Structure 1
Amino acid sequence: MAQYTLEEKESFTVLGLGIELMSDYTDYAGINKEKSDFWQAVKQDGRLATLKALATNDYIFAVNEAVNNKMMHYAGVLTDKTLQDEASRVIQFPKGLYLIVKGEANTAEELSNQLTGIAFGQVLPEVQTIAYVGGPNTTVEMEQKNGRVYGEMWIPVVEK
């Protein structure tokens, strides 16, 4: 069983810039390529730097959310500010219980893929006392040290 914790969190807001993922939800390779291409673009064109300038801390959020039956993915930061950009979205995370999976990897992309796989592929199927009932979930890049990226996956859950 993968290491995880359950933690009560206050509600919080992430400002994100996003894309609609067009791959089928079972096409992990396609989804990962779309996410990778998106992150490369927001880093290169300065949109991520614009978001970081509005942030209340150094965390970078990679948010997944279903919106109007569309699979959305966002690069985001913790802030109460907004952008005048049609691709931006204020994402509300609810107060409540969260499944937290911690990890480290060589890149933010590798970290996100690793934590998502552990959380959705191992922990949620095996832990019978909690359930994910939808809503946004996020990988949080918290620190870079000695060439490694450290972070967590946060998934809102309910007790069964």
Structure 2
Amino acid sequence: MADYTLEEKDGFTVLGIGTELKSDYTDYAGINKEKADFWHAVKEDGRLDALKAIATNDSIFVVNEAVNNKMMHYAGVMTEESLPEASRVIQFPKGEYVVVKGEANTDEELSNKLTGIAFGEVLPEANNVAYVGGPNAAVVMGQRNGLVYGEMWIPVVRK
């Protein structure tokens, strides 16, 4: 099983700019293409830079959340401010989180890698906790030794 930790986190809020993912939830290639297209757009048109400018730290949150039976995907930051182009204030609950750490060559590769490990390996094999929905996020924390590093945060409950 992949390495992970359980961490208690205070509730927190992420301001996000998002898109609805239209691919079937089992169509990983389609979902990954939609996510890649979205990230390319928010980097190119300056929306990601606008979010970074009002962030309280350097972390970028790659958030997935089901909202009104739609699969939503967001670029977000922790902030107390708002932006006209922001589409959602995402509330993360206080409680236990499965945390998976990792490194990759790019933000996108890190997010995909951590999501795959967390949902494909850790959660199916974790006997003591369960993911019951709510927002989850790959948190891109920075760069070191030429690689992007970060963590996947998934809120869980004890079984």
Name the SS of the counterpart of 2:24 in structure 1: coil
Name the counterpart of 1:142. Answer: 141
1:106 aligned partner: 105
* 1:99-141 deviations in Å (ceiling 9; x for gaps): 0000000011111111001000000000111000000000000
Is it true that 1:44 corresponds to 2:44 in the alignment?
A: yes
Q: Which amino acid aligns with 1:158?
A: V
SS of the residue aligned with 2:118?
helix
Percent pairwise identity: 77
**Separation in 2, partners of 1:50, 1:108:** 17
Q: Distance in 2 between matches of 1:146 and 1:39?
A: 24
Distance 2:29 2:92 in 1: 27
CA distance, structure 2, for counterparts of residue 147 and residue 41 of structure 1: 24
With normalisation by structure 1, the TM-score equals: 0.98
Cα displacement string for residues 26-51 of structure 1 (whole angstroms, at most 9, x for unaligned residues)? 00000000000100110010000000
Deviation at 1:71, TM superposition (A): 0.2
The aligned amino acid for 1:39 is: W
Structure 1 unmatched ranges of 5 or more: none
The number of residue pairs the alignment matches comes to: 159
Match of 1:117 in 2: 116
Q: Deviation of residue 147 (structure 1)?
A: 2.0
Instruction: Could you tell me which runs of 5 or more consecutive residues in structure 2 were left unpaired when the two chains were aligned.
Output: none
1:54-73 residue pairs with structure 2 within 5 A?
Answer: 54-73=54-73
- 1:12 corresponding residue in structure 2: 12
User: 2:89 maps to what in 1?
Assistant: 90
2:152 matched residue in structure 1: 153
CA distance in 2, matches of 1:97, 1:81: 26
* Structure 1 match to 2:127: 128
TM-score by length of 2: 0.98
Q: Which runs of 4+ in 1 moved over 6 A?
A: none
Offset, 1:143: 1.0
Letter in 2 for 1:115: L
1:107 is matched by which residue type in structure 2?
A: T
Distance 2:88 2:58 in 1: 19
Aligned: 1:80 with 2:41: no
What is the alpha-carbon root mean square deviation over aligned residues?
0.7
How far does residue 145 in structure 1 lie from its aligned partner after superposition?
2.0
Instruction: Give distance in 1, aligned partners of 2:20 and 2:76.
Output: 15
